[in-house]
Chain A
């Protein structure tokens, strides 16, 4: 198997050489530029062959980038250290999946990933069936060509950036014998998947951006436009949600600090577009159903992409100092800023010129107490949250710039400022589902909400008894309210269906999607509240030490050496028994401390047992040899143990949220038409 693999690699290497990859990248850049220019000329001159070129160009653009990835992967698997990217980030003894995953764990590779994902979106847009008698819901060909052209322009700029300042195919001379190896922290399956997921969310918002530009060029953003754009908004949102969830899980399970969110600039850079993206997701519904909020929705689409661009790239330019920053190179920063100005600034300028002249909605206006009113309030709250996070992130460098004062903004600031907006948002989330469009009479609405309201009120006392702080308890009650209201909505809609057509699968797909996403938010919020009561204990221990912690007995029974492929480790063996030292065994935790000699880095490999109501978590801090009074050598270790209530609910909720989005994307079953109409 191994031999076959090596032969295959050797056979492919001359064809898919780094030079071929470099050439493919340059070709992709040219194809993207053509994809951007030719269809626009075609549309302008009403020349349909030129317009129709958008699809083949998008497909070949994507193919060229896939070829350059194939070249890069073959070089990485074959340990070609003449490539700077591979020499800097890989090593011979690195396990092979990480040789591939390590390719996007650095600036050049992640940029190539970014443009490749954008080209995959273009290819998807080109491959989905267009509007035809068989597919009446498909995109009209002219709109599709224009979208592909706009996305081609965006791709071409970033591919040019990739080629000129961050080329992943640069050679190195003299060729080193072995690579430097990657940051051991990144050697984790979660991190292999995290960047592609997160980036596909970031990049996905390019499609709504192109939709918005197209609407501004047309001077029209009607219900039909919103129906075409909405699946793309939802898919990007779902991927970004998954990406953020996975990132939070990674910092919880791999960084080993016990926390899951540190309000680091890079984390904020993902949260900011997520917040505006969530606002966009809700406002595009209003445009689709009621044709209101058109310019607001367009602005959100532009801002979300501009923010995700700035998030991805400004953090890497060295302005926002962050633990995640890959490449602090201001020269690259200038190029990025120029691109940002071109796309983000250009989009906003177009908005300033065209938005005031958008056609006013044809539908009658609405009262504040209505579905529209609730969605407007939702947008206000989400955008306020986004503004807070943005301010907190940008405050330190701008404070330094404007007043020469240094200041840092951390977790305390963000927690104190975001909570007052999260609470009304949760309140609203539960109530809004029961509101009809246009006008909601008060009494029927209250009657509809009576059951979840009572259930929630009944949960107040237990919540205050269970959760450690009043704030956590109140947020938990609100989270329950969100879940109850979403379930209530599903159930009441089920029972209002006519009896002969009643069925869970017959409920509208969008209702299922919304309820699931809201339930997911509720579950995540419950997890957040549970984690507010997490307990940690730091002890110095030796073999035989018992610790009574979190209602359990934790015993360190053994310390064993452990050999990894490219690290040496010490593994602690911790037996957790229920209640006391004689209780039944609850779990066995085996945290390690790993030393990567190549990088001279020590990495905590934490051990976690996920249980439905709590996570048991242990990290082995450091090991030292000491002499006992009897002149015997023993080992003393520093152990950090955590009891994290409801921790797994955080990630579970995130996955449910994204599932809600995915459910919405699955095409509805074609309605069977009667044979003779």
Chain B
């Protein structure tokens, strides 16, 4: 039998499927041994430098102006930053706000070493402003990600998500922690504070 182009073409699907199957087999075997963790898939960009993204504009027409956000801002960090990706249409975002106000934005505690920055994901200025008014505007920097492009760069799958970024004089700022869902006090104490103690 002479092998023609048709034969090679017809073999392609089987080869592709075999490749995928091999990959799955490897993953499953290593998942049982604990050397492959599919849940780690959820933690994008962890342990890496801040991804490059185009500058995000500030929210226009605010009583107390709050600057926008750009990639360069992360290079000149002097304090740890908790970056929050939120949207006005998201319920858990509103639920985490009282905690943020108390513990991070330094409303009730003494000067907090942690800065709270925000990225407003796919929102309209009026709704974002309305939301911020209710939440007493906890952010010291706020970028408006109107088209969701910045969220792609950060690998965000939903709101709210939060990233902890630590400054480092030699290697540059790094993302050391990532969380999905509302931030709670327990989460803050157990997962974020150890990093802050290490950083100071």
Contacts and interface: CB of A to CB of B under 8 A. Distances in A.
B91 interface: yes
Given A341-B21, A396-B41, A410-B156, A356 B7 contact: yes
B23 A398 contact: yes
Interface in A316-369: 317-321, 330-331, 333-334, 337, 340-341, 344-345, 348-349, 351-353, 355-356
Pairs of residues from A and B, 6 with the lowest C-beta to C-beta distance, nearest first: A410-B157, A348-B14, A356-B6, A536-B89, A352-B11, A355-B10
A505 B95 CA distance: 58
Interface residues of B, number: 49
Nearest to B21: A341
Interface of A: 258, 262, 295, 299, 302-303, 306, 314, 317-321, 330-331, 333-334, 337, 340-341, 344-345, 348-349, 351-353, 355-356, 394, 396-398, 400-401, 406-413, 416, 536-540, 619, 621-622, 638, 640
B44 interface: yes
A351 B4 CA distance: 15
Given A352-B13, A408-B155, A337 B21 contact: yes
Interface in B4-32: 4, 6-7, 9-11, 13-14, 17-18, 20-21, 23-29, 31-32
B39 interface: yes
25 contacts: A318-B31, A318-B38, A321-B38, A321-B42, A330-B28, A330-B31, A333-B28, A337-B28, A348-B14, A348-B17, A356-B7, A356-B9, A394-B20, A398-B23, A400-B41, A406-B44, A406-B45, A408-B155, A410-B157, A412-B152, A536-B89, A538-B90, A638-B91, A638-B94, A640-B89
A306 B17 contact: yes
Given A319-B24, A356-B4, A413 B152 contact: yes
Contacts of A409: 157
A351 B26 CA distance: 25
B105 interface: no
A406 B41 contact: yes
Contacts of B46: 406
B127 to A, nearest CB: 7
Contacts of A295: 10
Interface string B85-126: 000111100110000000000000000000000000000000
Given A319-B27, A337-B28, A401-B26, A352 B10 contact: yes
Contact of B94 (A355, A413, A416, A538): A538
A333 B27 CA distance: 10
A341 B14 CA distance: 10
B55 to A, nearest CB: 18
Nearest to B19: A398
Contacts of B32: 330-331
Interface of B: 4, 6-7, 9-11, 13-14, 17-18, 20-21, 23-29, 31-32, 36, 38-46, 88-91, 94-95, 127, 130-131, 134, 148-149, 151-152, 155-158
Nearest to B14: A348
A537 B129 CA distance: 12
B132 to A, nearest CB: 12
Contact of A408 (B4, B18, B27, B157): B157
Given A348-B14, A356-B7, A638-B94, A320 B21 contact: no
A640 B21 contact: no
Contact of B40 (A262, A400, A537): A400
A321 B21 CA distance: 17
